[in-house]
Amino acid sequence: QGVRGPDADKGGYDGSSFWARSGVAEALTQFPGDVYGPNQPPAIADLAGAQTIAGGIAAALFKRERTGEPSVVDVSLLGLGAWMMSPNIIAHKVFADVPSPTFTRADAPNPIANRYRTKDDRVVHLVMLQAVKYWPELISAVGRPDLATDPRFTDPKAMFDNRAEAIRILDE
């Protein structure tokens, strides 16, 4: 989103700013006709972008402090793309060589950090990381205020246990 332009004061999230708006999701869609696109690995752009930029800036400042010479921080998109796979590599080791848990769109761990098709045949990618906190407002906005206090969705465990139902409701 950058520091200029109409969205400069809005928050930026990897799921919306990087994944959806940049076109990465469309480029990585694996199945023809898949209207939802690929499932996004967690924090992919946040991790890679922040670490790469911070490392480059730190190295440039260290060089300037030691030599007095300035540097240009230039981040390789190919290198960044390779680094972006690190969460999957780490998860592989964390789960002791057992494949890390995977979820489909229909049983995603957080129903409101997911993709939905609209009535006008567009896809909306919600990025609300605190599902229980934002559920009442979202469900009211889509015309189902009766579900704002439904016990299936009022605490984190209940929301997780009933995530498929929450997704089904939002699909409607």
pLDDT digits (tens, 9 = 90+) for 54-80: 999 999 999 999 999 999 887 655 456
Closest by alpha carbon to 161, among 172, 145, 150?
Answer: 150
- Residue 156: the pLDDT is 95
Q: Are 107 and 163 in contact (CB under 8 A)?
A: yes
CB atoms within 10 A of CB 13: 20
- Residue 72: the pLDDT is 87
Q: Which residues pair with 123 in a beta bridge?
A: 117
117 sits in which H/E element: strand 115-117
- Residue 10: the pLDDT is 72
Q: Are 64 and 71 in contact (CB under 8 A)?
A: yes
- Residue 14: the pLDDT is 65
pLDDT in tens, the chain (172 residues): 455 677 777 766 666 666 666 656 655 665 556 666 666 666 777 777 778 889 999 999 999 999 999 998 876 554 566 566 666 567 767 777 666 566 788 888 999 999 999 999 888 889 898 999 999 999 999 999 999 999 999 999 999 999 999 999 999 9
- Residue 82: the pLDDT is 54
- Residue 7: the pLDDT is 74
Q: Which residues pair with 116 in a beta bridge?
A: 124
At 160, list the tokens.
């997780």
- Residue 146: the pLDDT is 96
